[in-house]
Copies of this chain bind each other. A is one copy, B any other.
Amino acid sequence: MKDTLLAICQNTTTHDKAKNISSAISMIEQAAQKKAQLVMLPEIFFYPYELQNLAAIAEEYGDTPALLSQKAKELGIFLCAGSLPIKEKGKLYNRACLFGPDGTLLLQHDKCHLFDVDLPDLKTSESAVFTPGATAQVVDTEIGTIGMLICYDIRFPELARKLALCGAEIILVPAAFNTITGPAHWHTLFRTRAIENQCYVAAASPARNNNAGYRAYGHSMVIDPWGEIIAEADIGEEIIYAELSEKKLLDTRSRLPLLKHRRPEIY
């Protein structure tokens, strides 16, 4: 990997999709102005995470991805366009897209694990709405080998591990934990994925919107390969920046060579 300035846009998602998109674009432009080379948006960055409404605001792969691809090209940045609800052949996917500085779609990831839970004050069934993805991959770029996961995927150590074994140095995770799972698990899970896989992990959440039916946890953050949080947002709309360092990654991996100490024959 190369030293890279990463920015996460923790944007507010209201019930006005067009306004959310234009405000996200404006945050991306601000981040690029501050020299960010890799910019990231959260899970379903253009609407509150209200499952019952996502099918209605979903799109075929078309206008919004095209706009984001064009923006990546115009600004000459890598852009992880958070995730979008994408309709395809009658199915709905929760899809993250990574565009390169020439606008190319470099990588896409469909959320593989769907959040079907029955917690006190939180009952939800994503599998009633979304079709899960079936793969997780990485892409080699000039700034590093990048993999993506979406939100609930982070709870499953196997998937981040798969990306690491495929060479991931940076794992981008658009996510929308809530005010129950966030305080309980957000920092712990994301930090562990960075520690055990010795890579950079970036978690992008929407800002908290108390007028929405789903209250995102916020606290977007970037974690280094030793597990330190090197940038963290509060709960409001905010852009955070973090320097990803090649030296830090290589030092961590050489001094505590976890990935070489695996014992796959036992697992």
In contact, A159 and B113 (Cβ under 8 angstroms): no
Cα A66 to Cα B120 with chains together (Å):
48
In contact, A162 and B266 (Cβ under 8 angstroms): yes
Contact A189/B185 with A112-B266, A261-B113, A266-B162 known, Cβ cut-off 8 Å: no
Which residues of chain B come closer than 8 Å to A191, judged between CB atoms? 188
In contact, B263 and A113 (Cβ under 8 angstroms): yes
Scan A234-267; emit 1 where CB is below 8 A from any B CB, else 0.
0000000000000000000011111001111111
Copies in the complex: 2
Q: Number of A interface residues at 8 Å Cβ cutoff, please give it.
A: 44
In contact, B116 and A254 (Cβ under 8 angstroms): no
In contact, A134 and B266 (Cβ under 8 angstroms): yes
Which residues of chain B come closer than 8 Å to A192, judged between CB atoms? 157, 188-189, 192
Partner of A267, one of B116, B159, B184: B159
Partner of A119, one of B152, B189, B255: B255
CB distance from A179 to the nearest CB of B (A): 15
The interface of chain A, by Cβ under 8 A from chain B, is: 112-114, 116-120, 132, 134-136, 152, 155-159, 161-162, 184-185, 187-189, 191-192, 195-196, 226-228, 254-258, 261-267
